[in-house]
Amino acid sequence: MTDAPVPPGNPARTRAGAIPAGPAGVPATPAQSPPAGPERPAVTVATYDDYALAQRAVDYLSDNGFPVQHSRIVGTDLRLVETILGRLTTGRAALAGTASGAWFGLLIGLLIGLFGTSNWLAVLAAAVAIGAVWGAVFGATAHAATGGRRDFTSRSTLRAAHYSVVVDEEFAEAARQLVTRLTWRASGAG
């Protein structure tokens, strides 16, 4: 099998085995990504301790006709926070597997029921039951295979200490005026 030449200037058409283009273009790692154009100078117009406040500021810019495509929200001082939800036992792992298996069985049962000619409800019930049993077996087995190294459930979130609203330098003064007006209104001074 020979590789076809890559057409110049068309990243969507790549050699065999490359990742095809998706809705947002051809995916690439940062090291592979060419700059999207010359890097434009940017200015921080506001900094918030909460993402919702930074989002509200950009929304306010948008509501007032500011060209928000020249802005971005930049989170700094990122940290991973893992919230422990509870103890994980083999029984709980089996129970979670039962629930996932039942949902998968429901999906399979619906697909078979749509295209089958037999008793639709019986097929659906059997698929849910079989999925639940296999889910429980796989859940318990997967937990037992960890050997007790992770006997808890958790949820991980990525958080930033600060969120800055950054705009291209040529739009900085207009953005600063609007953000000042938003802050003035939020303080109840007007």
- At 49 the pLDDT is 94
- At 69 the pLDDT is 94
pLDDT digits (tens, 9 = 90+) for 98-140: 999 999 999 999 998 888 777 888 999 999 999 999 999 999 9
Q: What is the DSSP string of 29-61?
A: -TTTPPPSSSPPPEEEEEEESSHHHHHHHHHHH
Q: Which band of pLDDT confidence, cut at 50, 70 and 90, is reported for residue 164?
A: very high
pTM exceeding 0.85: no
Q: What phi and psi values does residue 21 have, to the nearest 5 degrees?
A: -70, 145
The two three-digit tokens of residue 42, written as one number: 């940017």
- At 82 the pLDDT is 93
Q: Range with the lowest mean pLDDT among 27-36, 149-158, 162-171, 177-186?
A: 27-36
Give strand ranges (E) for the chain: 42-48, 71-87, 152-168
The two three-digit tokens of residue 144, written as one number: 């037992």
Q: Please say whether the beta carbons of 67 and 152 come within 8 A.
A: no
Q: Is the pLDDT of residue 177 over 90?
A: yes
pLDDT digits (tens, 9 = 90+) for 43-95: 999 999 999 999 999 999 999 999 999 999 999 999 999 999 999 999 999 99
Rounded to an integer, the average pLDDT of 25-33 is 53
Q: Is the pLDDT of residue 4 over 60?
A: no
